[in-house]
Amino acid sequence: MMRFLYMGGYYPWVWPAYVVTFGVMGLNIYWAKRLRERARRAARRRLQTQEEP
Amino acid sequence: MTWTWFHRLASPPHLYRTAGRLTPWFAWPAALLIIAGLIGGLWLAPPDYQQGDAYRIMYVHAPSAWLSLMVYTIMAVAGAIGLIWRMKAAHALAAAAAPIGASFTLATLVTGSLWGKPMWGTYWQWDPRLTSELLLFFLYLGYMGLRAAFEDLQRADRVSAVLAVVGVINVPIIHYSVVWWNSLHQGPSVMYLGKPTMPPSMLVPLLLMFFGFTLFFGAVLLVRLQGEVLNRERAARWVEEEVGA
Amino acid sequence: MTPTRRRRLLLVIGILAGVSIAGGLALSAFRQNVTFYFIPSQVAAGKAPVGESFRLGGIVAKGSVHRTPGSMQVHFMVTDYKHEIPVEYTGVLPDLFRENSGVIVHGKLLPDGVFLANQVLAKHDQYYRPPGIHQAWGIQHGDPRDPALAVSATASTAAAHSSSIEAATEYAK
Protein backbone atom coordinates (compact mmCIF):
# COMPACT_ATOMS: atom_id res chain seq x y z
CA MET A 1 0.00 0.00 0.00
CA MET A 2 2.76 2.43 0.90
CA ARG A 3 4.50 1.53 -2.33
CA PHE A 4 1.30 2.31 -4.23
CA LEU A 5 0.96 5.72 -2.55
CA TYR A 6 4.63 6.43 -3.16
CA MET A 7 4.11 6.15 -6.94
CA GLY A 8 7.75 5.41 -7.61
CA GLY A 9 8.66 8.74 -6.03
CA TYR A 10 6.29 10.74 -8.24
CA TYR A 11 3.59 11.09 -5.57
CA PRO A 12 3.99 14.90 -5.32
CA TRP A 13 2.83 15.18 -8.94
CA VAL A 14 0.54 12.20 -9.51
CA TRP A 15 -1.79 12.65 -6.54
CA PRO A 16 -2.33 16.42 -6.88
CA ALA A 17 -3.19 15.85 -10.56
CA TYR A 18 -5.87 13.34 -9.57
CA VAL A 19 -7.14 15.57 -6.75
CA VAL A 20 -7.44 18.54 -9.14
CA THR A 21 -9.29 16.51 -11.77
CA PHE A 22 -11.72 14.90 -9.37
CA GLY A 23 -12.16 18.20 -7.57
CA VAL A 24 -13.19 19.73 -10.88
CA MET A 25 -15.61 16.86 -11.45
CA GLY A 26 -17.12 17.26 -7.99
CA LEU A 27 -17.53 21.00 -8.50
CA ASN A 28 -19.21 20.35 -11.85
CA ILE A 29 -21.76 18.09 -10.20
CA TYR A 30 -22.35 20.63 -7.43
CA TRP A 31 -22.67 23.63 -9.76
CA ALA A 32 -25.00 21.79 -12.13
CA LYS A 33 -27.34 20.72 -9.33
CA ARG A 34 -27.25 24.20 -7.82
CA LEU A 35 -28.13 25.77 -11.18
CA ARG A 36 -31.10 23.43 -11.63
CA GLU A 37 -32.27 23.91 -8.05
CA ARG A 38 -32.11 27.69 -8.30
CA ALA A 39 -34.01 27.59 -11.60
CA ARG A 40 -36.72 25.46 -10.00
CA ARG A 41 -37.01 27.77 -7.02
CA ALA A 42 -37.21 30.83 -9.28
CA ALA A 43 -39.89 29.16 -11.37
CA ARG A 44 -41.92 28.32 -8.27
CA ARG A 45 -41.66 31.92 -7.07
CA ARG A 46 -42.82 33.20 -10.46
CA LEU A 47 -45.81 30.88 -10.40
CA GLN A 48 -46.79 31.99 -6.90
CA THR A 49 -46.64 35.70 -7.69
CA GLN A 50 -48.83 35.08 -10.72
CA GLU A 51 -51.50 33.32 -8.72
CA GLU A 52 -51.87 35.83 -5.90
CA PRO A 53 -53.51 38.80 -7.63
CA MET B 1 -36.47 13.64 -44.29
CA THR B 2 -38.83 14.74 -41.61
CA TRP B 3 -37.76 17.28 -39.05
CA THR B 4 -40.50 16.63 -36.50
CA TRP B 5 -38.14 14.97 -34.00
CA PHE B 6 -35.87 17.98 -34.25
CA HIS B 7 -38.67 20.43 -33.50
CA ARG B 8 -40.07 18.19 -30.81
CA LEU B 9 -36.71 18.05 -29.08
CA ALA B 10 -36.53 21.83 -29.29
CA SER B 11 -39.79 22.26 -27.40
CA PRO B 12 -38.85 23.24 -23.83
CA PRO B 13 -41.08 20.81 -21.88
CA HIS B 14 -40.01 17.90 -24.05
CA LEU B 15 -36.36 18.87 -23.74
CA TYR B 16 -36.63 19.34 -19.98
CA ARG B 17 -38.26 15.96 -19.45
CA THR B 18 -35.99 14.09 -21.87
CA ALA B 19 -32.92 15.57 -20.19
CA GLY B 20 -34.20 14.51 -16.78
CA ARG B 21 -34.93 11.00 -17.97
CA LEU B 22 -31.57 10.58 -19.70
CA THR B 23 -29.35 11.87 -16.88
CA PRO B 24 -29.01 8.57 -14.94
CA TRP B 25 -28.24 6.74 -18.19
CA PHE B 26 -25.16 8.92 -18.48
CA ALA B 27 -24.25 9.31 -14.83
CA TRP B 28 -24.09 5.66 -13.74
CA PRO B 29 -22.12 4.26 -16.68
CA ALA B 30 -19.79 7.27 -16.30
CA ALA B 31 -19.17 6.42 -12.63
CA LEU B 32 -18.54 2.76 -13.42
CA LEU B 33 -16.21 3.47 -16.33
CA ILE B 34 -14.20 6.03 -14.37
CA ILE B 35 -13.83 3.70 -11.37
CA ALA B 36 -12.72 0.88 -13.69
CA GLY B 37 -10.33 3.25 -15.44
CA LEU B 38 -8.89 4.39 -12.12
CA ILE B 39 -8.24 0.83 -10.98
CA GLY B 40 -6.74 -0.04 -14.35
CA GLY B 41 -4.67 3.12 -14.68
CA LEU B 42 -3.39 3.51 -11.14
CA TRP B 43 -3.12 -0.10 -10.06
CA LEU B 44 -3.14 -2.65 -12.89
CA ALA B 45 -1.24 -0.84 -15.65
CA PRO B 46 2.55 -1.29 -15.48
CA PRO B 47 4.82 1.71 -14.99
CA ASP B 48 6.32 3.21 -18.14
CA TYR B 49 9.87 2.15 -19.07
CA GLN B 50 10.99 5.77 -19.11
CA GLN B 51 8.58 7.83 -17.08
CA GLY B 52 7.95 5.32 -14.33
CA ASP B 53 4.72 6.03 -12.48
CA ALA B 54 4.62 9.70 -13.48
CA TYR B 55 2.96 8.78 -16.79
CA ARG B 56 -0.19 7.83 -14.80
CA ILE B 57 -1.11 11.51 -14.85
CA MET B 58 -2.05 10.79 -18.47
CA TYR B 59 -5.20 8.98 -17.28
CA VAL B 60 -6.69 12.23 -16.04
CA HIS B 61 -4.82 14.67 -18.28
CA ALA B 62 -5.67 13.21 -21.69
CA PRO B 63 -9.44 12.72 -21.07
CA SER B 64 -9.66 16.26 -19.65
CA ALA B 65 -7.91 17.58 -22.75
CA TRP B 66 -10.28 15.59 -24.94
CA LEU B 67 -13.27 17.13 -23.13
CA SER B 68 -11.84 20.63 -23.43
CA LEU B 69 -11.79 20.25 -27.23
CA MET B 70 -15.00 18.27 -27.63
CA VAL B 71 -17.08 20.60 -25.46
CA TYR B 72 -15.93 23.65 -27.38
CA THR B 73 -16.79 21.97 -30.67
CA ILE B 74 -20.26 21.11 -29.34
CA MET B 75 -20.68 24.71 -28.19
CA ALA B 76 -19.74 26.01 -31.64
CA VAL B 77 -22.08 23.62 -33.46
CA ALA B 78 -24.94 24.42 -31.06
CA GLY B 79 -24.18 28.13 -31.44
CA ALA B 80 -24.31 27.86 -35.24
CA ILE B 81 -27.63 25.95 -35.10
CA GLY B 82 -28.98 28.58 -32.72
CA LEU B 83 -27.91 31.38 -35.04
CA ILE B 84 -29.29 29.82 -38.20
CA TRP B 85 -32.57 28.37 -36.96
CA ARG B 86 -33.10 30.82 -34.08
CA MET B 87 -33.39 27.75 -31.90
CA LYS B 88 -33.44 28.62 -28.22
CA ALA B 89 -32.73 25.05 -27.14
CA ALA B 90 -29.41 25.08 -29.03
CA HIS B 91 -28.38 28.32 -27.32
CA ALA B 92 -29.38 26.86 -23.96
CA LEU B 93 -27.23 23.81 -24.66
CA ALA B 94 -24.20 25.93 -25.60
CA ALA B 95 -24.64 28.05 -22.49
CA ALA B 96 -24.93 24.93 -20.33
CA ALA B 97 -21.79 23.39 -21.83
CA ALA B 98 -19.43 26.37 -21.45
CA PRO B 99 -18.62 26.20 -17.70
CA ILE B 100 -18.02 22.45 -17.93
CA GLY B 101 -15.61 22.92 -20.82
CA ALA B 102 -13.84 25.78 -19.07
CA SER B 103 -13.32 23.76 -15.89
CA PHE B 104 -11.87 20.79 -17.77
CA THR B 105 -9.61 23.08 -19.77
CA LEU B 106 -8.26 24.38 -16.46
CA ALA B 107 -7.85 20.79 -15.24
CA THR B 108 -5.94 20.00 -18.45
CA LEU B 109 -3.59 22.92 -17.90
CA VAL B 110 -2.98 22.13 -14.22
CA THR B 111 -2.49 18.37 -14.65
CA GLY B 112 -0.27 19.00 -17.67
CA SER B 113 1.81 21.35 -15.60
CA LEU B 114 2.08 18.75 -12.82
CA TRP B 115 3.20 16.21 -15.41
CA GLY B 116 5.60 18.61 -17.10
CA LYS B 117 7.55 19.53 -14.00
CA PRO B 118 8.99 16.09 -13.17
CA MET B 119 9.28 14.91 -16.80
CA TRP B 120 10.25 17.90 -18.89
CA GLY B 121 11.69 19.91 -16.05
CA THR B 122 9.26 22.83 -16.29
CA TYR B 123 5.76 23.74 -15.17
CA TRP B 124 5.16 25.97 -18.14
CA GLN B 125 6.68 26.86 -21.50
CA TRP B 126 5.25 29.11 -24.18
CA ASP B 127 5.13 26.12 -26.45
CA PRO B 128 2.58 25.96 -29.33
CA ARG B 129 0.48 23.24 -27.70
CA LEU B 130 0.47 24.77 -24.24
CA THR B 131 -0.18 28.27 -25.54
CA SER B 132 -3.07 27.24 -27.80
CA GLU B 133 -4.68 25.30 -24.93
CA LEU B 134 -4.38 28.39 -22.72
CA LEU B 135 -6.03 30.39 -25.52
CA LEU B 136 -8.90 27.88 -25.42
CA PHE B 137 -9.34 28.57 -21.72
CA PHE B 138 -9.56 32.30 -22.45
CA LEU B 139 -12.08 31.63 -25.22
CA TYR B 140 -14.28 29.82 -22.71
CA LEU B 141 -13.90 32.67 -20.22
CA GLY B 142 -14.64 35.20 -22.98
CA TYR B 143 -17.76 33.26 -23.96
CA MET B 144 -19.07 33.16 -20.39
CA GLY B 145 -18.11 36.78 -19.76
CA LEU B 146 -19.86 37.88 -22.93
CA ARG B 147 -23.03 36.07 -21.91
CA ALA B 148 -22.97 37.67 -18.48
CA ALA B 149 -22.43 41.13 -19.97
CA PHE B 150 -25.80 41.24 -21.76
CA GLU B 151 -29.01 41.92 -19.94
CA ASP B 152 -31.07 40.75 -22.89
CA LEU B 153 -30.91 36.93 -23.13
CA GLN B 154 -31.54 36.83 -26.87
CA ARG B 155 -28.71 39.21 -27.58
CA ALA B 156 -26.41 37.31 -25.19
CA ASP B 157 -27.24 34.11 -27.06
CA ARG B 158 -26.45 35.56 -30.47
CA VAL B 159 -23.29 37.46 -29.63
CA SER B 160 -21.77 34.62 -27.62
CA ALA B 161 -22.67 32.12 -30.37
CA VAL B 162 -20.67 34.18 -32.86
CA LEU B 163 -17.65 34.01 -30.54
CA ALA B 164 -18.10 30.24 -30.13
CA VAL B 165 -18.28 29.72 -33.90
CA VAL B 166 -15.30 31.95 -34.65
CA GLY B 167 -13.19 30.48 -31.85
CA VAL B 168 -13.67 26.92 -33.05
CA ILE B 169 -10.73 27.26 -35.48
CA ASN B 170 -8.53 27.05 -32.40
CA VAL B 171 -9.62 23.43 -31.90
CA PRO B 172 -7.78 21.90 -34.90
CA ILE B 173 -4.88 24.24 -34.16
CA ILE B 174 -4.53 22.72 -30.68
CA HIS B 175 -4.77 19.19 -32.02
CA TYR B 176 -2.23 19.65 -34.81
CA SER B 177 0.06 22.04 -32.94
CA VAL B 178 2.38 19.16 -32.04
CA VAL B 179 2.50 18.10 -35.70
CA TRP B 180 2.85 21.46 -37.41
CA TRP B 181 5.43 22.99 -35.13
CA ASN B 182 8.41 21.93 -33.11
CA SER B 183 6.92 21.39 -29.70
CA LEU B 184 7.96 20.27 -26.27
CA HIS B 185 4.74 18.29 -26.09
CA GLN B 186 4.71 14.76 -27.51
CA GLY B 187 2.46 13.77 -30.38
CA PRO B 188 -1.06 12.43 -29.95
CA SER B 189 -1.19 8.90 -28.52
CA VAL B 190 -4.73 7.79 -29.19
CA MET B 191 -5.90 9.98 -32.05
CA TYR B 192 -3.50 8.42 -34.53
CA LEU B 193 -5.65 5.57 -35.71
CA GLY B 194 -4.10 2.25 -36.51
CA LYS B 195 -0.79 2.79 -34.79
CA PRO B 196 -0.72 1.55 -31.22
CA THR B 197 1.49 3.72 -29.07
CA MET B 198 1.08 1.66 -25.93
CA PRO B 199 0.24 -1.93 -24.96
CA PRO B 200 -3.37 -2.89 -24.11
CA SER B 201 -2.64 -2.95 -20.36
CA MET B 202 -2.01 0.80 -20.58
CA LEU B 203 -4.43 1.64 -23.39
CA VAL B 204 -7.59 -0.02 -22.05
CA PRO B 205 -7.75 2.07 -18.83
CA LEU B 206 -7.15 5.19 -20.93
CA LEU B 207 -10.06 4.33 -23.23
CA LEU B 208 -12.28 3.61 -20.20
CA MET B 209 -11.40 7.05 -18.89
CA PHE B 210 -12.13 8.68 -22.26
CA PHE B 211 -15.61 7.14 -22.39
CA GLY B 212 -16.20 7.74 -18.69
CA PHE B 213 -15.29 11.42 -18.92
CA THR B 214 -17.42 11.87 -22.04
CA LEU B 215 -20.47 10.34 -20.33
CA PHE B 216 -19.77 12.38 -17.21
CA PHE B 217 -19.88 15.51 -19.36
CA GLY B 218 -23.19 14.30 -20.82
CA ALA B 219 -24.73 13.82 -17.37
CA VAL B 220 -23.61 17.22 -16.08
CA LEU B 221 -24.69 18.87 -19.31
CA LEU B 222 -28.21 17.42 -19.04
CA VAL B 223 -28.62 18.68 -15.47
CA ARG B 224 -27.39 22.15 -16.46
CA LEU B 225 -29.59 22.09 -19.53
CA GLN B 226 -32.65 21.51 -17.34
CA GLY B 227 -31.71 24.58 -15.33
CA GLU B 228 -31.09 26.68 -18.46
CA VAL B 229 -34.39 25.63 -20.06
CA LEU B 230 -36.31 26.40 -16.88
CA ASN B 231 -34.70 29.82 -16.58
CA ARG B 232 -35.83 30.68 -20.10
CA GLU B 233 -39.46 29.74 -19.55
CA ARG B 234 -41.82 32.44 -18.36
CA ALA B 235 -45.27 31.43 -17.13
CA ALA B 236 -45.80 28.23 -19.03
CA ARG B 237 -48.22 25.61 -17.84
CA TRP B 238 -45.69 22.77 -18.11
CA VAL B 239 -43.40 24.48 -15.62
CA GLU B 240 -46.17 24.29 -13.06
CA GLU B 241 -46.54 20.59 -13.71
CA GLU B 242 -42.80 20.05 -13.38
CA VAL B 243 -41.86 22.09 -10.36
CA GLY B 244 -45.18 21.66 -8.58
CA ALA B 245 -45.66 25.10 -7.10
CA MET C 1 -35.12 25.77 -45.52
CA THR C 2 -36.65 29.22 -45.59
CA PRO C 3 -34.80 32.03 -47.38
CA THR C 4 -34.03 33.78 -44.06
CA ARG C 5 -32.51 30.63 -42.61
CA ARG C 6 -30.55 30.05 -45.78
CA ARG C 7 -29.22 33.60 -45.54
CA ARG C 8 -28.21 33.08 -41.90
CA LEU C 9 -26.57 29.75 -42.74
CA LEU C 10 -24.57 31.41 -45.51
CA LEU C 11 -23.64 34.22 -43.14
CA VAL C 12 -22.36 31.81 -40.49
CA ILE C 13 -20.45 29.78 -43.08
CA GLY C 14 -19.08 33.00 -44.55
CA ILE C 15 -17.83 34.26 -41.19
CA LEU C 16 -16.26 30.91 -40.37
CA ALA C 17 -14.61 30.69 -43.81
CA GLY C 18 -13.29 34.23 -43.50
CA VAL C 19 -11.85 33.65 -40.07
CA SER C 20 -10.38 30.29 -41.14
CA ILE C 21 -8.65 31.87 -44.14
CA ALA C 22 -7.30 34.71 -41.99
CA GLY C 23 -6.22 32.22 -39.34
CA GLY C 24 -4.63 29.95 -41.94
CA LEU C 25 -2.64 32.81 -43.40
CA ALA C 26 -1.52 33.92 -39.96
CA LEU C 27 -0.49 30.36 -39.14
CA SER C 28 1.51 29.83 -42.29
CA ALA C 29 3.38 33.05 -41.52
CA PHE C 30 3.83 31.83 -37.97
CA ARG C 31 5.14 28.51 -39.18
CA GLN C 32 7.95 30.16 -41.10
CA ASN C 33 8.97 32.70 -38.52
CA VAL C 34 8.36 31.23 -35.13
CA THR C 35 9.90 28.01 -33.98
CA PHE C 36 9.86 26.79 -30.45
CA TYR C 37 13.33 25.31 -30.96
CA PHE C 38 16.00 24.93 -33.64
CA ILE C 39 17.66 21.64 -34.50
CA PRO C 40 21.50 21.48 -34.88
CA SER C 41 21.28 21.45 -38.70
CA GLN C 42 19.31 24.67 -38.64
CA VAL C 43 21.89 26.21 -36.33
CA ALA C 44 24.70 25.00 -38.61
CA ALA C 45 22.89 26.57 -41.55
CA GLY C 46 22.86 29.88 -39.70
CA LYS C 47 19.10 29.95 -39.19
CA ALA C 48 19.25 30.45 -35.44
CA PRO C 49 19.49 33.99 -34.05
CA VAL C 50 23.05 35.20 -33.48
CA GLY C 51 23.95 36.70 -30.12
CA GLU C 52 20.46 36.10 -28.75
CA SER C 53 18.96 33.41 -26.58
CA PHE C 54 17.14 30.63 -28.38
CA ARG C 55 16.15 27.01 -27.83
CA LEU C 56 18.11 24.17 -29.30
CA GLY C 57 16.44 20.77 -29.67
CA GLY C 58 17.94 17.42 -30.52
CA ILE C 59 19.12 14.11 -29.17
CA VAL C 60 21.70 13.85 -26.41
CA ALA C 61 24.52 12.06 -28.25
CA LYS C 62 25.44 8.68 -26.86
CA GLY C 63 28.47 8.70 -24.60
CA SER C 64 28.75 12.49 -24.70
CA VAL C 65 27.54 13.33 -21.19
CA HIS C 66 30.37 14.39 -18.91
CA ARG C 67 29.90 15.76 -15.44
CA THR C 68 32.52 17.93 -13.78
CA PRO C 69 33.28 16.20 -10.48
CA GLY C 70 32.26 18.14 -7.39
CA SER C 71 29.96 20.53 -9.22
CA MET C 72 26.60 20.66 -10.98
CA GLN C 73 28.29 21.32 -14.29
CA VAL C 74 27.56 19.00 -17.18
CA HIS C 75 28.70 18.84 -20.81
CA PHE C 76 26.97 16.96 -23.60
CA MET C 77 26.51 17.02 -27.35
CA VAL C 78 23.11 17.73 -28.90
CA THR C 79 22.82 16.01 -32.25
CA ASP C 80 20.36 15.48 -35.08
CA TYR C 81 22.75 12.88 -36.58
CA LYS C 82 23.86 15.42 -39.16
CA HIS C 83 25.37 18.09 -36.95
CA GLU C 84 26.42 18.18 -33.33
CA ILE C 85 26.56 21.13 -30.96
CA PRO C 86 28.39 20.99 -27.62
CA VAL C 87 26.29 22.19 -24.69
CA GLU C 88 27.44 23.35 -21.29
CA TYR C 89 25.00 23.58 -18.40
CA THR C 90 25.14 24.02 -14.65
CA GLY C 91 22.12 22.98 -12.64
CA VAL C 92 19.57 20.29 -11.98
CA LEU C 93 18.66 18.04 -14.90
CA PRO C 94 15.12 16.72 -15.41
CA ASP C 95 14.43 13.05 -14.64
CA LEU C 96 14.07 12.13 -18.28
CA PHE C 97 17.42 13.61 -19.27
CA ARG C 98 19.45 10.73 -20.66
CA GLU C 99 21.68 9.79 -23.54
CA ASN C 100 19.94 9.01 -26.82
CA SER C 101 16.88 10.85 -25.63
CA GLY C 102 15.27 14.09 -26.74
CA VAL C 103 16.29 17.35 -25.12
CA ILE C 104 15.51 21.03 -25.52
CA VAL C 105 18.02 23.51 -24.11
CA HIS C 106 17.59 27.24 -23.77
CA GLY C 107 20.57 29.56 -23.86
CA LYS C 108 23.09 31.28 -26.09
CA LEU C 109 25.57 30.14 -28.67
CA LEU C 110 29.01 31.40 -27.67
CA PRO C 111 31.51 32.54 -30.32
CA ASP C 112 33.59 29.39 -29.76
CA GLY C 113 30.63 27.26 -30.87
CA VAL C 114 29.64 26.07 -27.39
CA PHE C 115 25.99 26.45 -26.46
CA LEU C 116 25.77 27.81 -22.91
CA ALA C 117 22.44 26.64 -21.55
CA ASN C 118 20.51 28.14 -18.66
CA GLN C 119 17.66 25.65 -18.87
CA VAL C 120 17.49 22.01 -19.92
CA LEU C 121 14.14 20.37 -20.72
CA ALA C 122 13.68 16.71 -21.51
CA LYS C 123 11.32 15.76 -24.29
CA HIS C 124 9.54 12.43 -24.33
CA ASP C 125 7.48 10.78 -27.02
CA GLN C 126 3.93 9.49 -27.14
CA TYR C 127 4.98 5.86 -26.90
CA TYR C 128 4.45 4.14 -23.58
CA ARG C 129 5.42 0.62 -22.61
CA PRO C 130 6.37 -1.40 -19.56
CA PRO C 131 10.05 -1.74 -18.70
CA GLY C 132 11.88 -4.55 -20.45
CA ILE C 133 9.78 -4.67 -23.59
CA HIS C 134 11.58 -3.16 -26.53
CA GLN C 135 10.33 -4.82 -29.66
CA ALA C 136 6.65 -5.64 -29.42
CA TRP C 137 5.49 -2.08 -29.02
CA GLY C 138 8.58 -0.70 -30.67
CA ILE C 139 9.06 2.87 -31.59
CA GLN C 140 7.78 3.85 -34.96
CA HIS C 141 9.66 6.98 -35.69
CA GLY C 142 10.08 8.60 -39.01
CA ASP C 143 6.53 9.73 -39.40
CA PRO C 144 7.04 12.58 -41.84
CA ARG C 145 3.95 14.33 -40.50
CA ASP C 146 5.66 14.83 -37.22
CA PRO C 147 8.99 16.64 -37.43
CA ALA C 148 8.88 17.03 -33.67
CA LEU C 149 9.48 13.32 -33.42
CA ALA C 150 13.00 13.96 -34.64
CA VAL C 151 14.04 14.85 -31.12
CA SER C 152 11.56 12.75 -29.26
CA ALA C 153 13.43 9.60 -30.07
CA THR C 154 14.25 7.11 -27.39
CA ALA C 155 15.47 4.18 -29.45
CA SER C 156 18.96 2.89 -28.99
CA THR C 157 20.37 3.18 -32.47
CA ALA C 158 20.99 6.19 -34.60
CA ALA C 159 19.91 4.26 -37.68
CA ALA C 160 16.39 4.02 -36.36
CA HIS C 161 16.11 7.79 -36.45
CA SER C 162 17.71 8.57 -39.77
CA SER C 163 14.42 8.79 -41.62
CA SER C 164 12.77 11.06 -39.10
CA ILE C 165 15.83 13.24 -38.94
CA GLU C 166 15.72 13.55 -42.71
CA ALA C 167 12.09 14.49 -42.44
CA ALA C 168 13.02 17.10 -39.89
CA THR C 169 15.78 18.57 -41.99
CA GLU C 170 13.51 18.57 -45.02
CA TYR C 171 11.07 20.47 -42.91
CA ALA C 172 13.78 22.82 -41.73
CA LYS C 173 14.56 23.87 -45.31
Rounded to an integer, what distance in angstroms lies between the CA atom of residue B148 and that of residue B88?
17
Amino acid at B102: A
Rounded to an integer, what distance in angstroms lies between the CA atom of residue C85 and that of residue C55?
12
CA atoms lying within 13 Å on the CB side of residue A37:
6
Q: Do B53 and A7 touch (CB under 8 A)?
A: yes
Chain B touched by A48 (CB under 8 Å): yes
**Contact yes or no for B87/B10 (Cβ under 8 A):** yes
Q: What angle do CA B178, B211, A14 make, to 5 degrees?
A: 65
Q: What are phi and psi of C77, to 5 degrees?
A: -105, 135
Chain C touched by B124 (CB under 8 Å): no
Q: What angle do CA B27, B28, B32 make, to 5 degrees?
A: 120
Pairing state of beta strands C115-123 and C66-67? unpaired
Q: Which chains touch B (3 or more CB pairs under 8 A)?
A: A, C
In which band, very low, low, confident or very high, does the pLDDT at C48 lie, cut at 50, 70 and 90? confident
Q: Where are the domains of chain B?
A: 22-41+58-231
Most confident of B39-48, B212-221, B232-241, C103-112: B212-221
Nearest CA in chain B to C138: B197
Chain B touched by A19 (CB under 8 Å): no
Helices B12-38 + B88-119 axis angle, to 10: 20
Q: What is the mean pLDDT of residues B190-210?
A: 81
User: What's CA B72's distance to the chain center, in Å?
Assistant: 6
**Helix intervals (H) in C34-131:** 40-44
| Chain B partners within 8 Å of C48 (Cβ) | none
Rounded to an integer, what distance in angstroms lies between the CA atom of residue C148 and that of residue C98?
18
Q: What is the per-residue pLDDT across A2-49, written as a single tens digit (0 to 9) for each?
A: 888 889 889 999 999 999 999 999 999 999 999 999 999 988 888 888
Q: What are phi and psi of B241, to 5 degrees?
A: -60, -40
| Chain B partners within 8 Å of A37 (Cβ) | 227
Q: Do A36 and B235 touch (CB under 8 A)?
A: no
> Residues with Cβ < 8 Å from A35, sequence gap 6 or more?
B223, B224, B227, B228
Q: What is the per-residue pLDDT across B111-128, written as a single tens digit (0 to 9) for each?
A: 999 999 999 989 998 888
> pLDDT at position A10, please?
92
CA distance to partner chain A, nearest, from residue B219 (Å):
9
Residue B244 scores a pLDDT above 80: no
Chain B touched by C121 (CB under 8 Å): yes
H/E run at residue C46? none
Q: Which of A39-48, B7-16, B178-187, C25-34 has the lowest mean pLDDT?
A: C25-34
| Chain A partners within 8 Å of B118 (Cβ) | 10, 13
Q: What is the per-residue pLDDT across B36-93, written as a single tens digit (0 to 9) for each?
A: 999 999 999 999 888 889 999 999 999 999 999 999 999 999 999 999 988 899 999 9
B185 three-state secondary structure: coil
| Chain B partners within 8 Å of C146 (Cβ) | 178-179, 187
Q: What is the mean pLDDT of residues C15-25?
A: 76
> pLDDT at position B200, please?
87
| Chain C partners within 8 Å of B125 (Cβ) | 36, 121
Residue C157 carries which DSSP code?
A: -
H/E run at residue C59? strand C54-60
H/E run at residue C84? strand C84-90
> Residues with Cβ < 8 Å from C26, sequence gap 6 or more?
none
Q: Do C129 and B202 touch (CB under 8 A)?
A: yes
Chain B touched by A13 (CB under 8 Å): yes
